[in-house]
Amino acid sequence: MGTQTKSALTISACLLILAVLLAAGMATFLGPCAAHEGGSWMTCHWAGQAVMSLGVLMGLFGVIRLLLGEKARAAMDWATLAAALVTLRMPGGVIATCSMAAMRCNAVTRPATLVICVLMIALCVSDLLLARKKG
Amino acid sequence: MRLILQLSRKNLAGRPGRAAAMIALAAFLAFAIFAGSVVSMSLQRGLGTLENRLGADIIVVPASAKSQFNVNDILLQGNPGYFYMDREKLDKIAEREGVAAVSPQLYLASMVASCCSSRLQLIGFDPETDFTILPWVRESYRGEIGLYDILVGANVTVSGDYTLRFYGIDCRIVGQLEKTGSGLDNAVYANWETIEKLIEASEEKNLNKYSVKADSVVSSVLVRVADGYDIEQVLNDINLRVRKVTAVRASNMISGIAENLTRLSGVISLLIAGVWLLGLLIMMIAFSMMTQERKREFAVLRAAGASRRQLGALIFAEALIVCCAGAVFGIALAALIVWPFSTAIGSALGVPFLLPSLPTMLALMAATLAACAVAGVLISSISAVRIARQDTGLILREGN
């Protein structure tokens, strides 16, 4: 594991956990609506797939951060920040969700993506600020 | 004062682990009080709005509806369902003494709309006699309700083209209703003509197992009682004189929900109180141990010329910083969870759930922050008094 300060290590671990939660959650308990009775998928399904893929990507960034330590810290922070911002826009923005606010994609998937991405953005920003302060 | 604030900030920064643990505890307390209060208030607001939204004094349904279906599920929770009675009942009810106005509604067999994979409750109503739906139109996109025009509940997202497709028929969305926090927000309302066409379309596609003619049946009749008449008396009169119907007092329909809600609010309040009691106790002990551990540090400060008052202020300032920082984190986290997940929380609780308005939320945030600040002052006061009473010389001589 790469060398990094205790606070940077904590942030790395948190980012990795959140990314895994996002990716695994989309495949399980945070996933969007089920298929139509006829078997066809709503567009929200593809939004869920996109979020899951981006979650895997951010998880990969987290692993690289942990392995390379200080060397990759800033680069991975920026990469995760960008990916989290894109992820945030996925369900309901880039890819439409269902028209009913009470449906699973709007009631669970979208808020979960929002909460996890906001936390990841906050962690990345605070890590960048910490690194800048340290010089 | 500035020096004390600077010193307390440096003290906290010097022991980041300890400070983080205290901030986390304060955050937990703030989270509990803010999230608990928002949920409790949302339940009250949801019930209040639903109460107003029902609009009618009495709701009359077929006698069979009470035994075969859960009427509350359909009328209040918006769960798809269907039951019918002859339209002539409408005239018979209107003729009863004390009835000021009647308006029929027709619940259409649930169906899948183009927008969603779940079923929607489609409700037919008569715009000319209606007194329960039109007053709640929040946003009107077009004028009156014509053929293939629909009004949608607050939970239905209106897309750019303002249409929803049912059984191959594109219906124009002409308005959206106010949010109630109940299942009524998931319903779609259309006039009798549109419902008739939709029934025909559903039968053509063999998707309607209940073959009904919209011009000869109704599902429920909403009744407004004339001024000066007793609602209970009119209700009994309808039950007695109109055959094969059941008249229900609208307020009684939500009494069950109100009871559940009172119980739920009670449990939430109890939980908040328990969490706070325990949290405050833990913080008080932790703070007390912390100051005890630092008594030599305080003695040195006293020897360096700091007054007892300044030492007390230093402890107060540290506690205040910890509690306020924790409160900000706790409130932010609670808002981040309760706000976006409000629909899911409402569905999980199975009761009307409507978040408080923005000014109320802001006031609640300020109140939580104030409560945490007061808690900070309280928990540090014991430590401050103890430190002020200690004999500086003795501590320095003891060497621990």
Note the pLDDT of residue B370: 94
Mean pLDDT value of segment B233-257? 85
Q: Which residue has the tokens 């955050």?
A: B27
Classify residue B208 by its DSSP letter.
Answer: -
CA B350/CA B260 separation, integer angstroms: 10
SS (HEC) of B161-200: CCEEEECCEEEEEEEEECCCCCHHHHCEEEEHHHHHHHHH
Residues B220 and B347 in one domain: no
Q: Give chain A as a DSSP string.
A: -----HHHHHHHHHHHHHHHHHHHHHHTTT--PPPPTTSPPPHHHHHHHHHHHHHHHHHHHHHHHHHHTHHHHHHHHHHHHHHHHHHHHTBTTTB---SBTTSHIIIIIHHHHHHHHHHHHHHHHHHHHHHHHH-
Q: Which of B251, B270, B303 is the last residue of a domain?
A: B251
Q: B2 by DSSP, 3-state: which?
A: helix
Out of B251, B266, B288, pick the residue that ends a domain. Answer: B251
Structure tokens at B274: 């328990």
Same domain, B195 and B274: no
Q: Which two tokens stand for residue B197?
A: 């066409």
Q: What's the longest Cα–Cα distance across chain A? A: 59
Selecting from B117, B159, B340 the residue whose C-beta is nearest the C-beta of A36 gives B117
Q: Are residues B247 and B342 in the same domain?
A: no
**Residue type at A106 in one-letter notation:** N
| Cα–Cα distance for residue pair B326/B33, rounded to 1 Å | 13
Question: What digits encode the pLDDT tens for the residues A92-104?
Answer: 899 988 878 888 9
Contact A73, A126 (CB under 8 A): no
For the stretch B129-180, pLDDT in tens is: 988 888 888 666 666 788 999 998 888 877 777 888 888 888 888 888 888 8
Verify whether the Cβ–Cβ distance B116 to A100 is below 8 Å. Answer: yes
Per the rule left: phi > 0, alpha: psi between -120 and 50, beta: everything else, A95 is: beta
Chain B hits for A118, CB-CB cut-off 8 Å, are 336
Do B83 and B31 have their domain in common?
A: no
pLDDT in tens, A71-84: 888 899 999 999 99
Same domain for B187 and B86: yes
Same domain, B164 and B289: no
Is B40 part of a structural domain of the chain?
A: yes
- CA separation for the pair B25, B301 (Å, rounded): 28
Name every chain A residue with its beta carbon within 8 A of the beta carbon of B205. none
**Quick one: residue B153, left, alpha or beta (phi over 0 = left, psi -120 to 50 = alpha)?**
beta
Residue B275 domain flag:
yes
Domain range for B174 is: 77-251
Give residue B377's pLDDT band: very low, low, confident or very high (50, 70, 90).
confident
> Could you give the ipTM of this predicted complex?
0.85
3-state secondary structure of B351: coil
The count of domains in chain B is: 2
Nearest to B156 among A33, A100, A118 (CB): A100
Global confidence as pTM = 0.77
Q: Which of B324, B189, B181 is nearest to B257 (CA)?
A: B181
pLDDT digits (tens, 9 = 90+) for A18-71: 999 999 999 999 999 988 777 788 889 999 999 999 999 999 999 998 888 788
| Interface test with chain A among B31, B114, B117, by most A beta carbons within 10 Å | B117
Residue B65 located in a structural domain: no
**B105 has which bridge partners?**
B125, B220
